[in-house]
Chain A
Amino acid sequence: MIIGEQKRLEEISGMLDGHRGILIAGCRSCVAICLAGGEKEVAVMAESLRLISSLRGKGWEIEEAMVERQCEKEWVAELRPRIEGKDCVLSLACGVGAQTVQAMYPRVRVLPGLNTSNMGAPEESGIFVEKCGGCGDCVLHLTGGICPIARCAKSLLNGPCGGSQGGKCEVSPDTPCAWEEIYHSLESLGRLDLLEEPIPPKSWLPARDGGPRRIVRKEAVLTEEQKRLKGGKA
């Protein structure tokens, strides 16, 4: 899932200066799961900002709203009555959500309440770890199901580097060395042979480096004629 964490209150209140009608919009999918933008987090953020507003006389009028999934136009459209009369929206969804709200309500300023971080999974309650770098050309079949692009600090394909010691990455003691894990995974899979052959340079075209990506599933795309025939909001 997409993992994000809240910006510091200081930064958020800095952004909110000069605004009066504020709507905090949370999201019920990924950011709720990583405890960044769910309904409770929206409530906590609302209370904290109301405290700041009364303590420092900011005069903010803060309202809370939830969206099922803030990256879907249909659901963000349901925010319309709540957004009427507000001059800014503090989105506690991931970056995608904030951008969707801004695209649908061009005259209302949308402020990012979260720093969207990565695609990962909860390791245990409260700890979320990056697992996938979205490089567009998966190599898990060569690395025993452990992604070196996302989980090796240097995205090496013929790791480990010289700095891996005690199973930890040189970058930080609590980051396991991906290649150490790859080695042990392939060992238990009995496929250490995969590490013999040097892997040639990777094409980064399908990755973010190739420019913003656009995935098209032709059989679900409505043709121009279908759109004309269907009409309505969709």
Chain B
Amino acid sequence: MMRILAFCCERGPGEAIDLAGEKRMRYPADLTLIQVPCAGRVDVAHLLKAFREGADAVVLVGCLEGNCHHIYGNIEGRKKVDRAKQILDEVGLGGQRLEMFHVASNQPFRIAELAAEMASRVERLGPNPLAVKE
């Protein structure tokens, strides 16, 4: 069973998740969503700690750029993801396991898309080596 952790802004993407539920849009259960006030709330430490806790892939879901309910939280989030990717590459886990997606409140299909995209990446990259060791 894959483990994909998503930090999800509760304004735009949070709405899209509920809409996906209302419209019965199936997505793999490996994706677990944690709601945060804004994509800018998540810092690099949270993203890296998730991998140490055994996540195979981590996703930060923010609103579209220019459409952030907190003015530019999503741009802040993008910067943290870029920094974390750099570290993951240096560490050897691979920055591919971390990605930022932009989802507007009326794009429920994007949740399934991002889940599928990350699931395919995990298949390609294999499970998180830390998780395997335990």
Q: Is the CB of B72 within 8 A of A229?
A: yes
Q: Is the CB of B72 within 8 A of A219?
A: no
In B43-66, the 8 Å CB interface with A consists of: 44, 65-66
- The docked-state distance in angstroms from the alpha carbon of A229 to that of B68 is 11
Q: Is the CB of B72 within 8 A of A226?
A: yes
Q: Is the CB of B44 within 8 A of A219?
A: yes
On chain B, the residues within 8 Å of A230 by CB distance are 71-72
Q: Is the CB of B75 within 8 A of A219?
A: no
- The docked-state distance in angstroms from the alpha carbon of A220 to that of B80 is 9
Answer yes or no: A202 CB below 8 A from chain B CBs.
no
Q: Is the CB of B75 within 8 A of A226?
A: yes
Q: Is the CB of A225 within 8 A of B44?
A: no
Q: How large is the interface on A (under 10, 10 to 19, 20 to 34, 35 or more residues)?
A: under 10
On chain A, the residues within 8 Å of B75 by CB distance are 223, 225-226
- The docked-state distance in angstroms from the alpha carbon of A219 to that of B71 is 17
Answer yes or no: A218 CB below 8 A from chain B CBs.
yes
Q: Which of A219, A226, A229, A230 has the most CB of B within 10 A?
A: A219
In A176-234, the 8 Å CB interface with B consists of: 218-221, 223, 225-226, 229-230
Contact with A along B83-115 (1 / 0, CB 8 A): 100000000000000000000000000000000
Contact with A along B66-81 (1 / 0, CB 8 A): 1000011001000110
Answer yes or no: B82 CB below 8 A from chain A CBs.
yes
On chain B, the residues within 8 Å of A229 by CB distance are 71-72
On chain B, the residues within 8 Å of A218 by CB distance are 79, 82-83
On chain B, the residues within 8 Å of A220 by CB distance are 79
In A20-57, the 8 Å CB interface with B consists of: none
Q: Is the CB of A225 within 8 A of B72?
A: yes
- The docked-state distance in angstroms from the alpha carbon of A221 to that of B76 is 9
The residue from B66, B80, B82 contacting A225, defined by CB atoms under 8 A apart: B66
- The docked-state distance in angstroms from the alpha carbon of A229 to that of B65 is 12
On chain A, the residues within 8 Å of B79 by CB distance are 218-221
On chain A, the residues within 8 Å of B44 by CB distance are 219
Least CB distance, B77 to chain A, in whole angstroms: 10
Least CB distance, A202 to chain B, in whole angstroms: 24
Contact with B along A105-137 (1 / 0, CB 8 A): 000000000000000000000000000000000
B binding-site residues for A, Cβ under 8 Å: 44, 65-66, 71-72, 75, 79-80, 82-83
Given contacts A226-B75, A229-B71, 12 further A-B contacts (CB under 8 A): A218-B79, A218-B82, A219-B44, A219-B79, A221-B79, A223-B72, A223-B75, A225-B65, A225-B72, A226-B72, A230-B71, A230-B72
A binding-site residues for B, Cβ under 8 Å: 218-221, 223, 225-226, 229-230
22 contacts between A and B (CB under 8 A): A218-B79, A218-B82, A218-B83, A219-B44, A219-B79, A219-B80, A219-B82, A219-B83, A220-B79, A221-B79, A223-B72, A223-B75, A225-B65, A225-B66, A225-B72, A225-B75, A226-B72, A226-B75, A229-B71, A229-B72, A230-B71, A230-B72
> Which 3 A-B pairs have CB atoms at the shortest separation, nearest pair first?
A219-B79, A219-B83, A226-B72
